[in-house]
Amino acid sequence: MLEVSDIHVSYGKVEAVRGVSLTVKPGKVTLVLGANGAGKSTTLKAVAGLEKPTSGTIVLDEKPITGMPPHAIVRRGIALVPEGRRVFAPLMIHENLRMGAYTAPKSSYDETLAKVYEMFPILSDRSHAAAGLLSGGEQQMLAFGRALMSQPKVMLLDEPSMGLAPAVVDSILTKVRAMADSGIGILMVEQNAEAGLDVADDVVAIARGEVVFTGPATSARDNASVLRAFLGEAALAGQ
């Protein structure tokens, strides 16, 4: 269980995240909605240790991880899949996967790799292809696979469907659900709210760095404050 409580994160004088709290449970998907610039990525980066909160706490399985460096947080069991996937294009698929395993025990490498190949057969079929030759959807699966190699308890997914064709979006989000069903807790930012809600258990909506809605995915669909956070004030004002 991941518990983020009242975190604040600033870039210089600009406070991008202002008191965000959220929970991620094992086997569940928490969906983060919000307009561009709302502070979604910053929240994920703070959990991953890439940005240090100025206040608030981040606790994984009852142990605080607030302010720890990124590699230590990976070791505790939190893996970030960044926006834009960031696979190493010249390296082969299996080499990309190996890079995700640097914090995990060597003894379990083969077993973890087998599980990743089982979940993403395309990665197995093309394990000796350069990652740069994969389609966008396949690169997203590789980014998921690389994160899984660290044997995470929690995965942080920043806009996994960005730039993908609608049919591919569905297959990516189906994989997100499958990863959760394997017991991993997932915190996912997704601009495609409709598709994201289909696989989410819980929703947190953020507007200008603050949480404006927290609740089950089923109740988020009709909630005006969620829509406002997702579309932005301007979009609603124009209606």
Ligand X SMILES: Nc1ncnc2c1ncn2[C@@H]1O[C@H](COP(=O)(O)OP(=O)(O)O)[C@@H](O)[C@H]1O
Q: Interface residues with ligand X (CB under 6 A)? A: 11, 14, 16, 34, 36-42
Among residues 41 and 151, whose Cβ is nearest to ligand X?
41
| N-term to C-term CA, the chain | 40
Q: In whole angstroms, how close is the CB of 183 to ligand X at the nearest point?
A: 27
Helix 109-119 with 93-100: angle, nearest 10 deg? 120
CA angle 206, 192, 151 (to 5 degrees): 80
The backbone torsions φ and ψ at residue 204, rounded to the nearest 5 degrees and listed phi first, read -125, 125
**143 vs 149, beta carbon nearer ligand X:** 143
Q: Which does 196 bind (CB under 5 to 8 A by kind): ligand X, Mg ion, none?
A: none
Q: Taking CB within 5 to 8 Å according to partner kind, which of ligand X, Mg ion, none is near residue 85?
A: none
Which residues, other chains included, contact 155 with Cβ-Cβ below 8 Å and sequence gap of 6+? 78, 79, 80, 81, 144, 147, 148, 179, 184, 185, 186, 187
Nearer to ligand X by C-beta: 134 or 187? Answer: 187
Of ligand X, Mg ion, none, which one sits near residue 78, judging by CB under 5 to 8 A according to partner kind? none
- What minimum distance in Å lies between the beta carbon of 147 and Mg ion? 17
Q: Are 97 and 124 in contact (CB under 8 A)?
A: no
Q: Across the strands, what pairs with 77?
A: none
Nearer to ligand X, 37 or 183 (CB): 37
Q: Which does 38 bind (CB under 5 to 8 A by kind): ligand X, Mg ion, none?
A: ligand X
Instruction: Note whether 19 and 56 are within 8 A (CB).
Output: yes
Inter-residue contact 4 to 43 (CB < 8 Å): yes
Residue 37 contacts which entry, Mg ion, ligand X, none (Cβ below 5-8 A, type-dependent): ligand X
Quote the least distance from Cβ 212 to ligand X, whole Å: 13
| Residue least distant from Mg ion (Cβ) | 41
Note the residues at the interface with Mg ion (CB under 5 A): 40-41
